[in-house]
Structure 1
């Protein structure tokens, strides 16, 4: 008799996930901005007792050029343990890796040799277009009934609307467009959910023509980028409500809902205010029977000598924080905020989500500061904290430095290089760079690095059905 057991990296509740063993490897999306070399998945050793700790120990080149890998994710996670999940025995085995420029999606198997992942399937752009009506896949999330793929563009050359495609857990075939009724939603970016409240949330960036060649000043000053979040009935797949943050708050991007399924709130980061170049973090929450959003963190721009600024910022004489990623610890106690412009990673205590308290800050890189890593104090760094990922126990934080090729070039015209860092987090508050962990430069073979995923799961991989 075959005894089926759930994947041991799945946990019914966030409370149990916090006790998961430490990750031994991290997977990074590495892309070639020139599109002359193939993009790749780089593998980092994160075992502090290993003689190769902090080094690139694996590498998988993709078969094409020009994909520009972006927000990849696991095929399955703890949501497979939900009582209504039709796939309780899938494995967290495959990385689902989208090419934001090419619209290809790669399925990469990590099981046989976790340090040398193997490409087992390639979904061509035509498949995503034909079966779901989308292009420019951006973010991957594993859900109870399949793999969710948020996409920025429409099919057949249509600039929009963007939305969500669903892939099968096992065959990885495109099942179709997720939305039954999208209501007024047109712009897309991230998608997440509250499984305990049958609610899906989406955010807004822009259509492909608005983003793929860089930030368009006329669109920004015209307040045309996304500035709203949308709420959906998760089971009926129908739009229910739009919450507009205000059109001065341009680019409402990363969504981080509470991990505890009994809670009905989450955080969204806003890249920039066109009124003063500040960045902000907002809390969505219930207000009676409706959803509402409240700004809970405001991060001001920093004055700077125009001569030190890239052309896009010289007229303003200031460096905007440019909040391009946020991440919430599995225990819902700590929020991290990446300020890609100023080079600051901020840590907040959010046990009272309406009143975040700043508990830590580290500077590295930055448009003006170019703060070096302590392992190489004489080496100024470009780029800044961008994608941030937290270990399940909340003790380790991983950061990479590239945003998106064309946007990198605008804000860091001398290049961003490539680097990844790890920070140690104090449970009582405070963060510090790990001086032993600094893969950079030639370690990544001329590629830039973006998204991070941790072996066995991380704070932004999983959702849970039990408190």
Structure 2
């Protein structure tokens, strides 16, 4: 027995590791004609099947809406406090956000032989955790953490949403993570500063506010989430909550710095209802040696683009503008570049955040978009816009797909049907982006494409326990 070679002590060592040769993409079917699926894509340029789907795992149920999935284990198990030194990065934990069902998929002995080995039904999730609508999966040093967007009750809003823990070897649900919720009720993303014993969680809305599409009245009344929570990771108690202000609606993705001795990170805000801008906020400590309190400040404003109402979906006609709609962000392993998906305007932005307090735009590409509808450089159409991002460990490649959430797809892009596509962007180490004209992955008719995971780990999977030298 030995430690899995895809577990890396530091971000620098992960960046020096071999490149990815396979990727995993979840596909969802919105009309109920097929079950959702996991597709395996060949990412090895030396392969004759490069850029093609080489395997597919179909789920046995209809209507799961597979969403943010993750590995059973990652580099965080190398923590001196970890209890699973010989576990493998082998299983994918795939939640259905609409069904509350969870699938465990074994990727060994080879990605093209991936198969379902366990199914956890929604009744078990609720019985053992009190949560519903499982959303984000993170592998920690002591188990698998899964955030949920709903609590108890038919509408999932009778009790707070939160996080539960699953054993990373048996996949048994252990129970809810929180010992004290404080006044936290909404949930979305979460991550941590492992070495500083701090976890962060963000907010979207109640299931009523997203399952059937965005509710314009709730958005304009600032009723979606706009707070960032900081927790004592070991005591599992809420320590600090920062309210960004009611107009900063849907504070979603959290991306802490990868270097374990850094105590800052980035938060994406979908829209500011005062001006329709998209935003990036920074959390930080002024003096890490004094107290535990964090501060936040807005560091990036992305303006809305004016548009002819005739070119807009019904949801946006009254604004005569397209909001950037920041739906995903991702941070390279060297903490140098932050990538921002603007799902409304059809833009992928690259910011140099080497100085996190003073970022600057380093690169940009356009693809799709509500009004622009920029085609792929191959000449193929691209419906939707850059949405789920995944960065290679060496920071040279950014893969992205186009679907956000089924009902939201239909509101923002009502005429497209959102056929699933995955594309590739090349990143210059000094800044700058270029779409690959030859990499254009399509999925089976009827399937949309969402989260991506890379063989051996990626920039939104791993947590590192040792500083780079």
TM-score, structure 2 as length reference: 0.97
* Structure-2 separation of matches of 1:166 and 1:155: 17
Compute the displacement of 1:128 (Å). Answer: 0.8
- Alpha-carbon displacement from aligned partner over 1:354-384 (angstroms, at most 9, x marks no partner): 1111110000010011111111x2x432200
- Name the residue aligned to 1:438: 440
Summarize the alignment of residues 70-85 of structure 1 with structure 2, pairs less than 5 Å apart.
70-85=67-82
Q: Do 2:426 and 2:436's aligned partners in 1 also have CA atoms closer than 8 Å?
A: yes
**Residue 410 (1) aligns with residue 411 (2):** yes
* Structure-2 separation of matches of 1:9 and 1:330: 15
Summarize the alignment of residues 221-370 of structure 1 with structure 2, pairs less than 5 Å apart.
221-288=220-287, 289=291, 290-370=293-373
Q: Equivalent residue of 2:182, what SS?
A: coil
**Residue 24 (1) aligns with residue 21 (2):** yes
Summarize the alignment of residues 20-419 of structure 1 with structure 2, pairs less than 5 Å apart.
20-157=17-154, 158-159=156-157, 160-288=159-287, 289=291, 290-375=293-378, 377=379, 379-414=380-415, 415-419=417-421
Q: Which runs of 5+ in 2 are unaligned?
A: none
* Structure-1 separation of matches of 2:464 and 2:324: 32
Q: Equivalent residue of 1:50, what SS?
A: coil
* Structure-2 separation of matches of 1:74 and 1:35: 27
Q: Do 1:42 and 1:444's aligned partners in 2 also have CA atoms closer than 8 Å?
A: no
- Name the residue aligned to 1:463: 463
Compute the displacement of 1:193 (Å). Answer: 0.1
Compute the displacement of 1:113 (Å). Answer: 2.6
* Structure-2 separation of matches of 1:446 and 1:322: 25
Compute the displacement of 1:242 (Å). Answer: 0.3
Q: Equivalent residue of 2:219, what SS?
A: helix
Q: Do 2:27 and 2:420's aligned partners in 1 also have CA atoms closer than 8 Å?
A: no
Compute the displacement of 1:460 (Å). Answer: 0.6
- Name the residue aligned to 1:449: 449
Compute the displacement of 1:116 (Å). Answer: 3.0
Aligned length: 460
Compute the displacement of 1:218 (Å). Answer: 1.1
* Structure-2 separation of matches of 1:43 and 1:141: 20
**Residue 424 (1) aligns with residue 426 (2):** yes
Q: Which runs of 5+ in 1 are unaligned?
A: none
- Alpha-carbon displacement from aligned partner over 1:298-353 (angstroms, at most 9, x marks no partner): 00000001000000000000000000000000111110000000000000111000
Q: Equivalent residue of 2:452, what SS?
A: strand
Compute the displacement of 1:445 (Å). Answer: 3.3
* Structure-1 separation of matches of 2:461 and 2:401: 17
* Structure-1 separation of matches of 2:106 and 2:463: 22
Compute the displacement of 1:149 (Å). Answer: 0.3
Q: Do 1:30 and 1:444's aligned partners in 2 also have CA atoms closer than 8 Å?
A: no
- Name the residue aligned to 1:10: 7
* Structure-1 separation of matches of 2:167 and 2:31: 33
Q: Equivalent residue of 1:165, what SS?
A: strand
Compute the displacement of 1:444 (Å). Answer: 2.7
* Structure-2 separation of matches of 1:335 and 1:459: 11
Compute the displacement of 1:156 (Å). Answer: 4.0
Q: Do 2:95 and 2:101's aligned partners in 1 also have CA atoms closer than 8 Å?
A: yes
Compute the displacement of 1:465 (Å). Answer: 1.0
Greater Cα shift, 32-41 or 450-459 = 32-41
RMSD: 0.9
Q: Do 2:82 and 2:142's aligned partners in 1 also have CA atoms closer than 8 Å?
A: yes
Q: Do 1:14 and 1:464's aligned partners in 2 also have CA atoms closer than 8 Å?
A: yes
* Structure-1 separation of matches of 2:372 and 2:383: 9
